[in-house]
Each structure stands twice: as C-alpha cells, then as structure tokens.
C-alpha cells in the first residue's frame, strides 16, 4: 500500500518536475544556510582563538576609538603622539612600549609593483614581540640593528607569494621612493594580515609617509607576573591625560577574546534568524505549490475518487507529495551546505586559515533533526490544501476543468 502510494506520488512529482524543483529549492536555501552556519561557526571560533593566542598573552593593545566600535576609530584617522605612548613606560609593570603604524605603500621588486600593507615599529620592540610573545623567528636573514638603516623585514607570505619570484634576504626592494635591503624573512605566523605584511622601522615609516612622531596603535609588553587587567586600567588613566586621541581603547587578550566571541555569537544568531526566516518562506512556498497543484489536479482528484479512492487516500497522496518535497529539500540543503562550507574551508585554508570547516557542531543526529523538521514542514504546509482536495465529492471535482 505504502509502496504503491509512494510510486504514485513520485510519478506525480516527476510529471510536474519544474514546479517541484522550484519548491524544493525554496527549502534547500534555508537548510543550506543553517548547515553552513553550524559547520563553519565552531571552526571560525577556533581559528580566532588561535589567532588571539598567537598575539601573545602578555601584551596589551592600545588603539584609538571606543572598544565597542573598533571600525569607527580606524575611519577617524586619529593618531597618538609617540612621546605620550613612550611616557607609559614609567608605569610599574610595563617592560616596554612599542608604538606601531600601518599604511598601504607601493613596493617594487624586479620591476613588479604591488600595493601592500607596510607596518612601521621600532625594531627594538618588534623583535622581542615576534620572538617571545608570538614565538615566531626569522626564517632567513637577521633583524636590523639600527632604526635608521634602509632595511626591511618581510612577512612569510609576502616574501614567498606576493611577487612572481621569491624575495630573499639580501635582495633589494623599492618601498615608495626608497630603496631598501631585505634584512630578513619571518617564519609563518598563521594570521593572514601579518604574514602578508612588510615591516620597517618607525623612523623609516615616518619618512615614507611624511608623518611626524605619531602612531596609530601601540603594544605594551608587560613584565612577567603582572596583573594585566590592573595594568590596563593604569594605562587607561595615564593615557587619558593626552589630548591627541580623546577616545581610545586598552585591550588585554582576555578582553579581546571576550569581545570577539560576543561579536561572533551575535553574527551567528543573526544568520540563524535569517536561515529560519528563509525556512518559513520555503514552507510558504510548499503551501503555495501544494495549493495550486491541488487546484490544477482537481479533475484528477475527481477521477481517483470516481474509481474508488477514499478521502484518506487522496489526503495521504498529497501529504506524501509535500512531505517528499520537504525531505528532498532538506537532504539537498544538507549536502549543498556541507559542500559549500567545505569549499569555504578549503579556500580559507589556501589563504592561511586552517581547519575552518568541521563537523564539530553538526553530527548525524543534527542532520536527522534537520530532515525531520523539513519533512514535517512539508507535511504541515500540504495539510490545508490536501484536506480541501480530499473532501470534495467526485462529481464536483470532475466538473472542474
């Protein structure tokens, strides 16, 4: 009985294949979104927390703008005076302060020109932060010893991938208008931006960008066994005295990860709401399709009833149809979602962020739940039109053209 009905239903779906596929598509999109969000979110969180750990756990970051709104501060273009920043070294517990700035500059190597991110910071601060706090050593070459020589250090990817030929220690590149010797190439850090950057001393940076003793950000290296939260509050207080940047943030690693975590869960929530809305839209789509398909097939309903189908028979045929549409949509959504997130993970892996794609928060139990939900969505969406179809008298349905 069930098998015969299933065959009948499948034939009817296939007969109207375009309409059936379009309805299925409505469900697919919603489910795909849910699957992508779930399978990428845990990987994303892991990638970000890994990134934060690579920053070093004894570093405090200072940047302009309120911490709740980091984007606005970068747009504002406010910069600290480096003397105000160096003044923070007087606070007990501070080992040293490394002011840093960043700009997009043109770098030329063997006639090939590229616009790249150039970080400026004193070598004396940069070297220990890379080596001690982030655990990254030079892959080749050596750190420049003077702040005033025309020397440059390249991030790992910027040396290996940026230009057609690999840049090696000892090569010469032109940064802006200045010819500089490549002193060294960093090992892989694991963070996109850092690996693709170029590093020069702050003195050279000011010369190239035409700015004078200012920096957009600073990293404070703390002494061992110092309470970072307390230190951050002291820095906040001391730096509050300067006038150049009235709104600024002082972030400890713990606070940063907390902030990023809350941003991620907010984004996740937002995406899930979108996914749910699209699922509801899909359900309305099924309802709409079932409704028109009931109207379209009123005559066939009459025929079936005339040759002995009961109301329950007609009802179950239509419910099976909408259930199958929902189930197929769910299945294709899961497969499509996995495929797309796998591709995103693959793409991110190529760009340097590994392990973005994972099944961690989406196991087979989760898939079963999704399939059940889509099946029930189909059934409920089909219920109203199917019941209307089933209760007609055969002659009434047969008159319908």
Partner 1 sequence: MEKTEQLLDPVCGMDIYGLPDVRHVTHAGKSYTFCGDGCEHRFKQTPDRFLGEPLIRLENVWKVFDMGDTKTEVLRGINLRIWEGDFTTVIGASGSGKSTLLNMIGLLDRPTSGKVFFRGKDVSDAADVDRATLRSSAFGFVFQQYNLIPWLSALENATLPLIFAKGDTDGVKMLKKFEEIGLKDRVAHRPTQLSGGEQQRTAILRALANNPGVILGDEPTGNLDSKTGNKILEMLIGLNRDEKKTLIIVTHDADIAEKADEIVTVRDGEMLRDHHIHKRTYTEFNV
If binding is defined by CB under 8 A, does position 177 make contact with partner 1? no
If binding is defined by CB under 8 A, does position 303 make contact with partner 1? yes
Question: Between 311 and 340, how does the x/- string for binding to partner 1 read (CB under 8 A)?
Answer: xxx---------------------------
Give the residue with the Cβ less far from partner 1, 127 or 305. 305
Stated length of the chain:
401
Among left, alpha and beta (phi > 0; psi -120 to 50; other), residue 314 is alpha
Task: Output the CA torsion 41→43→45→49 (10° steps).
Answer: -170
If binding is defined by CB under 8 A, does position 300 make contact with partner 1? yes
If binding is defined by CB under 8 A, does position 299 make contact with partner 1? yes
Taking the complex as a whole, how short is the minimal distance between the CB of residue 260 and partner 1, in angstroms?
55
Q: Which stretch binds partner 1 (CB under 8 A): 22-30, 94-102, 227-235, 296-304?
A: 296-304
Taking the complex as a whole, how short is the minimal distance between the CB of residue 392 and partner 1, in angstroms?
10
Taking the complex as a whole, how short is the minimal distance between the CB of residue 19 and partner 1, in angstroms?
13
Taking the complex as a whole, how short is the minimal distance between the CB of residue 309 and partner 1, in angstroms?
5
CA-wise closest residue to 122 among 130, 132, 114:
130
Q: Provide the sign of the torsion angle of the four alpha carbons 181, 187, 189, 191, taken in this order.
A: positive
Give the residue with the Cβ less far from partner 1, 127 or 297. 297
**Per-residue DSSP letters for 273-339?**
HHHHHHHHHHHHHHHHHHHHHHHHTHHHHHHHHHTT--HHHHHHHHHHHHHHHHHHHHHHHHHHHHH
Taking the complex as a whole, how short is the minimal distance between the CB of residue 399 and partner 1, in angstroms?
10
Which DSSP state fits 193? H
**How far is residue 67's CA from residue 45's CA, in Å, rounded to a whole number?**
20
Question: How many C-beta atoms surround the C-beta of residue 360 within 10 A?
Answer: 14
Give the residue with the Cβ less far from partner 1, 34 or 309. 309
Question: Between 11 and 30, how does the x/- string for binding to partner 1 read (CB under 8 A)?
Answer: xx-xxx--------------
Interface positions with partner 1 (CB under 8 A): 1, 4-5, 8, 11-12, 14-16, 299-300, 303-313, 391, 393-396, 398
């Amino acid at each position: 009985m069930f098998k015969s009905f299933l065959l009948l239903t499948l034939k009817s779906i296939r007969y109207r294949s375009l309409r059936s596929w379009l309805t299925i598509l409505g469900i697919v999109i919603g489910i795909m979104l849910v699957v992508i969000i779930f399978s990428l979110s845990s990987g994303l969180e892991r990638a970000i927390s890994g990134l934060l750990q690579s920053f070093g756990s004894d570093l405090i970051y200072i940047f302009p703008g309120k911490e709740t709104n980091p984007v606005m501060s970068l747009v504002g273009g406010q910069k600290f005076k480096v003397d105000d920043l160096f003044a923070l070294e007087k606070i007990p517990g501070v080992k040293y302060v490394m002011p840093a700035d960043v700009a997009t500059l043109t770098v030329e190597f063997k006639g090939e020109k590229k616009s790249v991110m150039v970080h400026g910071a004193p070598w004396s601060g940069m070297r220990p932060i890379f080596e001690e706090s982030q655990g990254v050593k030079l892959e080749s070459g050596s750190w420049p010893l003077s702040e005033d020589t025309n020397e440059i250090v390249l991030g790992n990817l910027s040396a290996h991938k940026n230009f057609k030929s690999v840049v090696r220690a000892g090569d010469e590149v032109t940064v802006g208008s200045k010819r500089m010797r490549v002193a060294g190439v960093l090992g892989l850090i694991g963070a996109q931006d850092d690996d693709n950057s170029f590093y020069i001393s702050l003195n050279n940076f000011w010369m190239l960008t035409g700015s004078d003793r200012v920096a957009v950000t600073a990293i404070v290296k703390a002494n061992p066994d110092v309470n970072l939260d307390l230190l951050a509050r002291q820095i906040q207080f001391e730096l509050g005295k300067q006038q150049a940047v009235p709104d600024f943030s002082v972030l400890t690693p713990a606070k940063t990860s907390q902030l990023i975590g809350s941003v991620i869960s907010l984004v996740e929530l937002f995406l899930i709401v979108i996914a749910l809305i699209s699922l509801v839209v899909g359900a309305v789509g099924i309802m709409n399709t079932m409704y028109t398909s009931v109207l379209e097939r009123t005559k066939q309903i009459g025929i079936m009833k005339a040759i002995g189908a009961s109301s329950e028979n007609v009802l179950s045929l239509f419910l099976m149809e909408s259930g199958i549409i929902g189930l197929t949509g769910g299945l294709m959504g899961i497969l499509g979602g996995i495929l797309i997130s796998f591709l995103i993970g693959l793409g991110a892996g190529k760009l340097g962020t590994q392990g973005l794609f994972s099944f961690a928060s989406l196991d087979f139990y989760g898939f079963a739940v999704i399939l059940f939900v889509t099946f029930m969505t189909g059934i409920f969406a089909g219920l109203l039109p199917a019941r209307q179809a089933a209760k007609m008298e055969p002659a009434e349905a047969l008159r319908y053209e």
